[in-house]
Amino acid sequence: MNLLRAIRRPLPRPPARPSILTRGASTRPSGRKPAGPITRPEPFKHDRATYIGATIGVVLGTYWISHIEKTPETGRRRFMNVSPAEEEELRKQALEETLEQFKGRVLPTNHPTTQLVRRITRRILKASELGRLKGDSPAEEASNYWGGLDGVGAAEVPRPPTLHADKEWVVLVVDDMRFVNAFAAPGLVCVSTGIMPMAKNEEGLAAIIGHEIGHVTMRHSAEHLSKMKLYMPFMAIFYLMGLDPFISNAVIQFFYTLPHSRALEHEADTVGLKLMSRACYDPAAAPRVFANLGQFEKQNGSGAPAFLSTHPSSDERVQASRASGPHSCYP
């Protein structure tokens, strides 16, 4: 009986082998990672920012190339997309902002210092047929005519379409000895009393004013405005490419903006020498002014390293002006 029961007792079943559907869920270590669902990345979605940035870059690059021109003095290629009408608006804006910024500090027209600055500016403008001063009487214009000189022809002095013999200019003198500066915009020349010690005399002041008018004849303000029109789109491209805005701005400043600014200053120095020479001012005054400015910067600790400055070093400007200065009408 016991034997029969033992025979009839069901034998123990071997453990079932996991099926192909349940093997992945086994808790036994198999040495392989569980197989998950297979997904395919969407290539366009993955690289969308790169594609958009590249497209914008191609469009901007094409637009940039189509607006490239050569500068009349140095042959430098530059991007320019500012019209004469926009430059006229720039002149009005510069005049309004200057009057507002220095309200109550502008010397009257009959002040001796203002008369000196007006005389120099008039002389430079008339010699190169760049315009006339606002408020000048016919007698003043006739008595202050200065012709050109041998060796510096009219073709060598840039004359953009925005400047002509009847262009009206405004001269402002700011009475502030702490403000050591001078600047110009189309139809505007502004000089501070603080820069007079750097000039020393009329010849030195002519070098400063000639430099500033040189910026205008080379249309540097319009060039700067053209550059700013593309600045934000390029920053947007860098952002879409995943670059930090702070780093992008620093790269643009270091490798483009600052070197470009120094190149513009060199151009203004070169053209300014020709402008003052055509008005029969001695160009030898220019290196003396640059040397004085260099001494002022050293004494006041305002001299930044050359590669971080918007202007070339004073020593470099002295050497360049001595090497390239044209002969004036002086013996």
Q: Which position has the higher pLDDT, 23 or 106?
A: 106
pLDDT at 7: 40
Mean pLDDT of 176-197: 95
pTM for the structure as a whole: 0.77
288-310 burial: b if 16+ Cβ within 10 Å, else e: bbbbbbbebbeeeeebeeeeebe
The helix or strand, by DSSP H or E, that contains position 2, with its residue range, turns out to be helix 2-8
pLDDT band with cut points at 50, 70 and 90 for residue 97 = very high
Mean pLDDT of 55-76: 82
Residue whose structure tokens are 């002040």: 111
Domain segments of the chain as ranges: 53-324
Mean pLDDT of 128-157: 68
Interatomic CA distance for residues 252 and 231, integer angstroms: 9
pLDDT in tens, 245-284: 888 888 888 888 899 999 999 999 999 999 999 999 999 9
Task: Give the residue numbers annotated as catalytic, written as ranges.
Answer: 212
pLDDT at 41: 55
pLDDT at position 149 over 90 = no
* Poorest-pLDDT segment among 13-27, 92-106, 189-203, 217-231: 13-27
Tokens of 208: 């400063």
